Structure formats: structure tokens, C-alpha cells
Structure 1
């Protein structure tokens, strides 16, 4: 396979100085036009986004004009989509580098030309490969898939690399960052591995998006390496590479397994590691693989409890498959359980000393809404996080003859049984839950890992498949969907990082962006209060507002050693998850409280009066906006705030407290 990859790379990499440009003088001219145009517009007061996009277009038009004048072969009309895809991805590389440089301390005036120049160099090894993909009729389909998979993987990792430190953390990431500020063997709503990961990243790189997300990037690299090994247990090298492309390009995996730092990042790594060892233990009958199963399951339980669903999946396979039932007579599966428990011991200890709070929360405590049928929502979530592509492969899971000639199919009955058990048994649990309770959008994401090698093999052999309507759908969706997803990520990340010219942020984006400015404005408000050193700010939602304010209300963002004191809605007897245990309401007795919310009605006097000696007379708007990258200072959405003076917490019976925070949690 390594030789095939070297050959594929030699076909794709042109060795040019800039993407599509090999002559040094021409490359210098194109880059100069790009830089001069971008800087002139920036100094004229236009945004970074408009400036660099215009510079890119100006240099691109000049390059096309020069090539036309020199009578070089024109691009084939069929390649217009490759050119468009390259342009979108290259612009995103530039935006990501500019944003990352700026957020890591480089002045915008320097970050703009430096980002453009670095992206031009990096594009040679990533986005420019798109321009050299062969046309459909110039290579066999398997070879084209090999080249396409290589380009998809390289471009996906390039996007992750330039944006992971150039985009604000989302509320969930900020919440888990708060975990890392209160290190513990366990927490109410998730195990501790994500907290340890963030803590380690910030110990290396300091507080900021780079340190916070660095662990996610490493998890993504490890995930794809192990996933390739898992895929090779079932399919040939080309199909395994295509499967790897699916495992980095489908929405859940692009964002969840190597970009955002949430429990899903270590979970997907643990999941594929467990599948790898389960396959070796159950299908290949390797007894020593059971020790790997134990370690992977324990590691997964330190990430997210849902990996426990692999246990009934394995049990189903063992009960159905006569050959696998023999493992019940060997010691290795039972030793694997012991290994998993040992690895998982910190969480067991924490729960044992905290009234089993986390286990209770993940079972009955999590589902407090009224029962309702949500199967349609579950299906919609699946379509959103993995697209319809894996669903098209499901019928082939139930047939012995997936190819018309049935030659060289790697999916015998035992392999298909393995895939079916490890996909459908966990899926049935989530489907049963969706009969009564609302499913979370990301719950089923890891389940599809087991099916991706089969889907990849079907795509690589699509011309020989049975059931032509399904095969035609796979062929129609395959490459266009994956490259389209990459372009969609590029546009979305560009928009989140530095904006898009002429496109305003929708109101819903206020949860994601503008929070460094929110924290600075809250700090200015605090400074104006008479007792400014005795002020706490709370968010009147479950955890989004408090998490983002905690993250950006730090000296690294406020400067001058300033830090916001932030707490949650539990001060007003609401549910704020772990904030209630990190910051007990009694600790804020007598303080002035700034209350921030999305809904004006949350600040009505009747709701707040029981908790304060007095309230500020009126509810005030608090605009959320961005004030960077030369963007117009437009309000994305108005939040609202009100100030309460001399807070006194309500009496709370001991029975209402699920557990007592002990010394394992830093106050």
C-alpha cells in the first residue's frame, strides 16, 4: 500500500511554487498582486475577509490571462468543479491561517500577508492536489477512488490544522474547559478524560483555543491511523483508504473526532480501538486481542458511557455465531472485563463517594421531559451527522451476493454478522429510547464506524454491484458528496472565523461567536458598579452562557490580570449541571449579581425579587457582536441583563443535593 500511495502522490503533486504555478518569476508576480491588492483594501478600511478574497480573485484572473496569452492548454470544461473546489478550499486555508495567527497574538496587519503567503505554500501539498485529479474517463474507477481518497484526507486534515486554533470555542467546549479547571476523577454528566485532555493541552500551550483543542487534533490523528488498521481487517488497501476518507469527511467525524474537544473525540478513538480488537478476537479468533478489548472499553468508559453498548453487541455475536461461542470457555473474555474495570476505576471511585450521581444522571436523571415519539428526529439526526450515504449500504449487509459476479467479496456471513451486531444492537437501544425521549444529535455517530469499510468497498466496486438503483445512487453521491462536504466545511469555517463579505451572522450564531467581546463588556460593566470586587456574573441558561463567560473572562482575554467571577442559574434554583457543585450558592451570599440571558422574560421582577435586597430598575439590552478582522460592528443578537444587589441564596434541603463536592474538586 505504501508504494501505491507514493505512486498516487507522484501523480497528484506537481512540485509547483504556488498552486498551478511553476515558474518562479510568474509565482512571484501572482503573489505580489495578491498581497498588494489585499493590503490596499485592508488599509482602505475593508474587512480581512473581503480583502483577502479580492486579492485571491485578482491574482487568479491575472494567472488565467497569462496562461491564455501563452496559449497554454485550457482546462477542460468538466474540470470547472475541481477549480471551484480548489478555490473554496484555498480561500479557507488563508482564512484559517489569518485567524489562527491573529488569535495567537500576531497583529492583523502582519497576519493578513503572512497567512496568504503560508497558505500559498501549504496549498501545494493539499488543496492544489484537487487540480490534478484525473478525469472520469482517463483512469479506472478504483484508481480514481484511490487518488480521490488521498486528496480528501489531506484536505480535511489541512482544514482542521489551520482552523482548530483560529475559531472561538463552542459552548460545549467551554463547559468541558471548566471541567479542566476543577480536575476530578469524575463529574455529574461525563467521565473525566476530556477534562484531562484539555488540562494537558493548556499545560503545554497555555489558555486559548490552541491549548484547549490540541488534544482533539491528536485524537483525530490516532483515530484515523487505527481506523485504517481496522478497515484492513476486512477490505483491500484501496478500499481501506476510501474508508479512511469517509471517516474524516462525514460531518460527525470531521467535527467530532479531530477538531472540537468534546467527549466524542476520545470516544471515537476508543470505539474504533475496541472494534479493532473485537474483530480480531471474535472473527479472527485471536485470544490475546481480548486484552486490547478490555483496555479500549475501559478507556472508552473514561470518555463517554455509551461505549458500553458494544458489550451487548459482542454478546449478540457470541450467542448467534457457533464458532464465537467457544470463547465463553476461555479465560480471556473474563480477564478483559477485569482490565476494563481497572481502567475505569477512577470513575467508579468518584461515583461511590458521590452517591452514584453520574450513573444516576446518565440513566433516569437525564430524561426529565415528557415521553414522546422521536424516531423521526433520530433519523433526521443520522442523516445530518453521517449523510444518507451509509444508509444506502445497509441493504448489502443482508445479502450474500453484493456483486453481480460475487467474486472476491470480503464480506462472508461472519463478517456481515459482526458488522450487523455492532451497528444494529446499539442502534436498537437508541431507537428504543427515541420511542419516548428526545435523542441527542450525536449519539449514533460512533455506531457507523463499523459500517464504513463495507461502504468504502461498495463505492470502490460500484460498477459491479447488484441492485442497480442502489448502486447508481452510491455512484452518484459518492465523490461529489464528499468533496461537497469539504467545500461546505470550508465555507462554514471561513464564516465562523473571519466572516464572509456581505453576509450577516444570523441570530443563532450569537451562541458561538462574539464572546471575547461579551466578556470584555461584562468586565466594563463590573468596573462601574460600586462594590466591583464583590460581583458575580451568572448565565440564565443551563450552562452555555456561564461556560463561554468563564472561558473568555480570563486574564488571557481581558488583560491586566482581570478575571470574571462566573456562576450558573443554580443561584436562582435552576439547573446548571456542574456549576452548582463548583460554585455553591452560599459562597455568593451578599454579592452583587449581573444576570445575563437570551430572553427578556427571564429577568422579570417577580422571578428575581425573592433572591435580592433590591434590583436595578430596568432590564437592559446587551448586544452580542464581533469587533475583529475589520468586520462591521453589527449586533448579531441582543441578550439582556439586570443587576441584583445583596444576593441571598434560598434555603435548600440536604435531600435536594445529589452529592457533596469533596476535596477531589477544586473550589
Structure 2
């Protein structure tokens, strides 16, 4: 990309973007350190991973665990410190959005894009939750920034360094979430569409970028190779969604509608309108083409995925960092400043309400949004119910739960009492093999199954759990209110002599006993 495509900017835009980012980050920090909302079980899972650093984990690459380890090493294991890295990653991503837009267009576009991105509804949630999306978007943004800078560079040495930076950032994006593959797809699409982009790469710079990516990814690939490629298999299985209705137009429609909530109604509408205008005119500027190549593939691929089976609203999140820049550029080019101001104002209002609801969940309850927060409530009380019962049972050899949410929330909220009790927390396996990291790392086995406190989430499969013991007794049902309408129920009993029955791999239920029938006699029904 020619340096002439870059527009002049002033330092005022950069200062404004930094002030916006600092203000948003400060508001999010206030919410993080004052919210009564508890860790969602997936967050507790990532925290537990961070206690044992590794180059990979059952369902995700390692960056999320590394980040939590770093922040909790500074401030301790409280919820805010577990989530802190998400806030910092999204603050960094907002600045990166500004820098990309300024390189491709000008400082005014960069400031508008930073505002749209920082206030995006989906980003508000991502910045306050310990998950893989925040580091993915930060490193994805760095890779796009390095790619753009590489295309604009004229010095061979600088291009080589930027190619290495692009490869390293892409590797870190992959270590955050395998959805970084959309960067590779976007890169391939841009190289196919732009002769100018192809000319910017040489065999040396392309090789340097690939080597840098490979070097960053190598430890994770080695970990997967020694663990049966567990993360890859989980990612593939998650995308496959076996057991759901296939070719469902309603699912695709639901996913597309959800994107208006993730991206914001005005930006999403502008993105659709801009794509339509570009298709009608059959003409795109070089910056627009580059951004479209990184924006459209995630949206199109995940929409197809939603139609074939189903998709979560955040699966297309890789589209919106570059998509925000494109929308800001188009709105300014169309002189639709009122729409831009309206978009920023609307998303600012939503962001303010969201932060207020995080600080005071009663606000969400009053406006009928309590259901959206129920999974971040009541886990400490649930852990207390389990451990109160455990302390009343002398001689326990283990506590076993039948749900990964229960496993991770009990591991986090019962961490001190579990240490005091001195018995392992385990997972009861429904199937013959493990299906998640809790079942892989801490399965209930006969070696620890002498006297077990068994916990069933909502009573699920309790009869099958009881059948795995020589004796089961002391059924107790406990519940925790999550709001005025919803409560969580657990059923607990003690089991002695764990002898798991063979399972049918299709149903998960105990296999029927094999009955030997002498020749000439009828087969029993």
C-alpha cells in the first residue's frame, strides 16, 4: 500500500483517543472492583488452569491462563484480579484500533473508530469477563497493524522487522484463541484481491513471518501432540454441534439479529449498507478492500455455521475490530456525522447502563434482565452448601460432582475450605471417557472412592450416580436463590465403595448385564 494513501494527522486525535481509552478503562476498573457478581464457572475454570502454568489446556490455548496468573500474582485471587487482564487487553485493543485507522485514513477516522470500538456493546462484556476474546482481539489488532505498516513501509529492513512482528502477533493471537485463523483467511483474501499487497511481500519477508508464527506456536503444538491434540479436538467438536437440528434457517436468522446487539444497531446497519454500496459500484479504495477482507470472512463463515447447525453470538467477534474502522471511515466519507454521533451516543448510553448494572445488579433485576446475570450469582453459596455437608461427614475420601460448572466453582469458591478438609475434588464420569478438562484431570476413581460425598447438579443423573456405589445413603437437597424467580438446586448423598458400571457409549447409561443362556432355552426379555 502506497504511503501516499496515508492522510496527515495531528497529535490532538491521539491524545483524545488515549483520554477516551483511559476514561473507559477507569470506569471498567471501578465496576470490576465493586461488583458483587461472582465468577462465571468458565472464569473459575481459567483461574484453576492458571494455578498450573502450561503451554496448552483441554479446551483453550494458554494465554488466558497466563494472563490470570500474572494479575493474580500481583493482587491475589479475588474476582476483580482474575478478570483484570480482560479490561487491560480491551483498553490496548482500543488504542490499536485508533492506530490502524490513522494509518489507513486519518486521525479523525481513528478517533471515531476508537469511540465506536470502545463503546461497542460486545466489548463492554468482553472487558469485564475473564475469557479468550479480549486477548484475541488485542493480538489480532496488533497483527493487522503490523500488516498495514508492512504494506506501507518502503525500507527493506523495516519491512523484514514488520513481517516478523506480524508473524509473532499472529502467533500470540492463536495462543489466545484459535479463531485467529480468520486473520489467515483475511490475509489470503487480501493477497488474492490486491496486486499491490502481493508486491509488498518477498520470499524473505513471507518466510520470516511464517517462521515467527511457527516459533510462537511451537510450544502449544508440542503440548497438543503429547495430549492427543485435545484442544484441537475440542474446538472441532464445539463447532460441529452434533445432536442439533441441521440446516436451520431460524438459527442463521437469530445469529444475524444477535450481531446488531454485539456490534450495535447503527454500526451494523452501516456495515451492511456499505457492503451493498461497494457491491453495486464494484469499486473499493485500497484501505476499504483491506478491511473488508478481514471483516467479511468471520461474519460469512459463522453465518453459514449457524445455518448448518448453530453458532454463538461472539463467534464472529474477530470481524468487529476491523469492521469498526470501516464503519467509521464510511460514515465520515458519507458525511453522515449525525449517524456517527447517534451511534456513539447510543452505545455510550448502553455502556453506561451496563456498567451501572454490573456495579448494582439490582438495576438489571428491576428492568427485567435478571436472567442474564443468574450464571454469575450464587456460586459461593453453592460451594458452601457442598462443603458444609462435607465437614459433617467424617472419613470422606473425596467430593465428586457431576457437572463441570460445579467442579470449577467449588474449586474456586471452596479453595480455602477444601485445603482445610484435605480431600480431593473429583468429577464423576457419565461416559466411559472424559469430555472436559475437569473429567480429564480429576476423575473419580475406585482408588479415592471409598467414602464419597456425591453432588448432582439439579438432580441430573443422580440414580446413575447412586448405582455406581455398593451403598448410597443420606440424600440431601439444597438450593440457592439467584434472584426472585430463579434458584439453583443440588442433590447430595454419600456413596461407599465406588464401582463404576460399564457405560453404553451412545446413551451414557449403565450397560445391561450380559445374561448367559444355555442352548435351547428362550432368551429372557
Question: If the TM-score is normalised by the length of the shorter chain, which range does it land in?
Answer: 0.7 to 0.9
2:344 paired with 1:482: no
- Post-superposition Cα deviations, 1:57-98, rounded to whole Å, max 9, x if no partner, equal xxxxxxxxxxxxxxxxxxxxxxxxxxxxxxxxxxxxxxxxxx
- CA RMSD between the two structures: 3.4
Structure 2 residue 144 is the aligned partner of structure 1 residue 275: yes
Matches within 5 A, 1:308-457: 308-327=181-200, 329-364=202-237, 366-367=239-240, 368-370=242-244, 371-373=246-248, 374-394=251-271, 395-397=273-275, 399=277, 413-457=285-329
Which of 485, 490, 495 aligns to 1:645? It is 495
Secondary structure at the aligned position of 1:323 is classed as: helix
Aligned pair in 2 of structure 1 residues 636, 362: CA closer, same or farther (>3 Å)? Answer: closer
Per the alignment, do residues 313 and 635 of structure 1 end up closer, same or farther by CA in structure 2, a change over 3 Å counting? closer
CA distance in structure 2 between the partners assigned to 1:524 and 1:209 by the alignment: 22
In the alignment, the residues of structure 1 paired with residue 373 and residue 237 of structure 2 have an alpha-carbon distance, to the nearest angstrom, of 32
The DSSP-based 3-state class of the residue aligned with 2:54 is coil
Residue 444 of structure 1 aligns to a residue in which SS?
A: helix
- The two structures have a TM-score, normalised by structure 1, of 0.65
Partner Cα separation in structure 2 for residue 401 and residue 617 of structure 1: 68
The aligned runs of 1:577-596 (5 Å cut-off) are: 577-586=436-445, 588-596=448-456
- SS of corresponding position for 1:186: coil
**What is the CA distance between 1:576 and its match in structure 2?**
5.0
What is the CA–CA distance in structure 1 between the aligned matches of 2:422 and 2:369, rounded to whole Å? Answer: 28
Where does 1:424-573 land on structure 2 (aligned, <5 Å)? 424-460=296-332, 464-465=335-336, 474=339, 477-496=342-361, 506=370, 509-531=373-395, 533-538=396-401, 540-541=402-403, 543-555=404-416, 558=417, 561=420, 565-570=424-429
Q: How does 1:179-328 map to 2 (within 5 A)?
A: 179-256=49-126, 258-282=127-151, 287-288=159-160, 289-327=162-200
* C-alpha separation in 1, matches of 2:230 and 2:13: 52
Taking the aligned partners of 1:385 and 1:202, their CA distance within structure 2 comes to 29
- Note the C-alpha offset of 1:216: 2.2
Task: Mark the CA change 1:229 to 1:341 in structure 2 (over 3 Å): closer, same or farther.
Answer: same
Q: Which residue of 2 aligns with 1:609?
A: 466
Per the normalisation by structure 2, the TM-score is: 0.82
Contact 2:18 2:95 in 1 (8 A): no
Structure 1's 652 and 5: CA in aligned 2 closer, same or farther, altered over 3 A?
same
Write the deviation string for residues 240-297 of structure 1: whole angstroms up to 9, x where unpaired.
12211222211222221x3222111211111101111122234667733211110111
User: Hey, what does 2:519 align to over in structure 1?
Assistant: none
Q: Runs of 5+ in structure 1 lacking a partner?
A: 7-145, 403-410, 466-470, 627-633, 657-667
Structure-2 change in CA distance of 1:399 and 1:504 (3 Å): closer
Give the Å deviation of 1:520.
2.2
- Aligned counterparts of 2:217 and 2:502: Cα–Cα separation in 1: 33
Q: State the shift of 1:604 in Å.
A: 4.5
Q: Secondary structure at the match of 1:425?
A: helix
For the residues of structure 1 that align with 2:214 and 2:59, how far apart are their CA atoms? 19
Query: Residue deviations 1:375-434, cap 9 Å, x none?
Result: 1132133122112222222232465799xxxxxxxx962112111111112333223322
**Corresponding residue number in structure 1 for 2:517:** none
CA distance in 2, matches of 1:534, 1:327: 64
Alpha-carbon distance between aligned partners in 1 of 2:147 and 2:276, rounded to the nearest angstrom: 21
Indicate how the Cα distance of structure 1 residues 226 and 563 shifts in structure 2: closer, same or farther if over 3 A, else same: farther
User: Cα offset for 1:570?
Assistant: 2.3
| SS at structure 1 position matched to 2:313 | coil
Compute the displacement of 1:174 (Å).
0.9
Contact preservation (8 Å) 1:272, 1:449: yes
Q: 1:536 to 1:401 in 2, by over 3 A?
A: closer
